[in-house]
Amino acid sequence: MDTFADPQVNINEKKPSIKFQQKTSVNKRIIIGVVIVAVLVVVIGVAIGVPLSRRGTSDANMNLALKVLRETPLIDGHNDLPWQMRQFTRNQVHKVNLRENTTMQWLHIKKEDMSEPKYPRIYPQTDIPRLKKGMVGAQFWAIFVDCGSQDKDAIRQSALDTTAATHTWINQYDDAFRLVTTSDGILEAFKANRIASLIGLEGGHMLGNTMGVLRTFYLLGCRYMTITHSCDTPWADSWKSDLKPSEYNSTNNITGLNEWGKKVIKEMNRLGMIVDLSHVSKQTMIDSIEASSAPVIFSHSSAFGYCNHYRNVQDDVLQMVKKNKGLVMVNFYNGYINCPPNKKENATLSQVAEHFDYIKNKIGVDYVGVGADYDGVPQMPVGLEDASTYPDLFAELARRGYKEEELKKIAGENFLRVFKDVENERDRLKGNPPFEDLYPVESLNLPCNTNF
């Protein structure tokens, strides 16, 4: 808090005359009157202007946005609240009250009560009041543990700790959340005025190179897996291999999936687990789409053509997504929406809308959705600071000419179509034997692994 010193008073200074005092008193009253008028102007301006400026558009556009979100579940592809829970409470979820603003809770947790954070503290962006204000209908909660746990204790940290803790707090607030594992379940939860809560596994490094663990995650409720996080696995390369040699495959210049990795994709199809290609290398994107018999998603990625970051989706891959009938769920993070060739001084809501425009113009409105990445990144654009702001985005899209049916597709209908197609492919493959291929872990010389 800033402190302001009181002005010093000179006790030897002569007192002013009575006439001067009267004149001063009149002047003071005039000044006070002017101040009062100014305050009233500001208050009226706030009452009228702030809602409009916050909406960034007219009442008609906001009304359309609210109508869409009342009638169609807003399905967000990625939120890292489980990571926040792990990092700042050691998965002791009852230490945080999600019915209250998490800003006043996360940032005041004592260091001794925290896990050792490997990332800077992220300004809290999610809690039940803000999700409700944002009119969120369904949310994928991302299960993530640091890449440093790969081939060590990633399975314990993710499956046995973080996933279990996520189940705990979803059930703890069962008047607000409902655990969901099917496309129909999303609509049922929405009708019951609950936020459909789905679980996604963010990174194949948590498989321990075994198909059995993949199947176990499905049994635990995970309905998508991000093939890599920002680290390579022995069987799939991340986006960072587009910038430097792959950690595992640099000798043979592979930057995508190896044969075992392609079987992971096929086993996900058989299970009915959605293939998520955020975080992966371009070649892994291509290999995965070609290997998958079901639609894929990018749970939290944006358009490379507008912002040249390799976490985003390039134009030729966008065309593959359209052919695959998949989905790109636009990420809000400053670093993925505000970079060359369209870098601005500050990232804004308008720039996020530009990514929707870009993807819509390239491949159509049927292949774009929302994947904000709240509580997973330190900086969000002006106007989209936390999970309460989704209506503002939809009002901005309405201002740009998006029709009601297009807004409903973006909000949730596109994802429901993808999820249903994945389930239909699972049903078609019913009766096929599982892929039980063993990865030759002995070839990797992993000190923390014993042989099968």
Which residues have a catalytic role annotated? 78, 80, 202, 229, 279, 300, 373
The amino acid present at 261, given as its one-letter code, is: G
Q: Is the Cβ–Cβ distance between 335 and 301 less than 8 Å?
A: no
Question: Six-digit token pair at 262?
Answer: 């392609």
251, exposed or middle or buried, with CB in 10 Å at 0-12, 13-18, 19+?
Answer: exposed
Calculate the dihedral angle through the C-alpha atoms of 383, 385, 388, 392, rounding to the nearest 10 degrees: 20
46, exposed or middle or buried, with CB in 10 Å at 0-12, 13-18, 19+?
Answer: exposed
Q: Is the Cβ–Cβ distance between 273 and 304 less than 8 Å?
A: no
Q: Residue 376's closest CA among 204, 203, 240, 246? A: 203
CA distances from 403 to 395, 396, 399, 413 (A): 11, 12, 10, 14
Question: Six-digit token pair at 74?
Answer: 């807003």
Question: Six-digit token pair at 197?
Answer: 């809560």
- Tokens 């989905």 correspond to what residue? 327
40, exposed or middle or buried, with CB in 10 Å at 0-12, 13-18, 19+?
Answer: exposed
Rounded Cα distance, 353 and 363, in Å: 16
The amino acid present at 212, given as its one-letter code, is: G
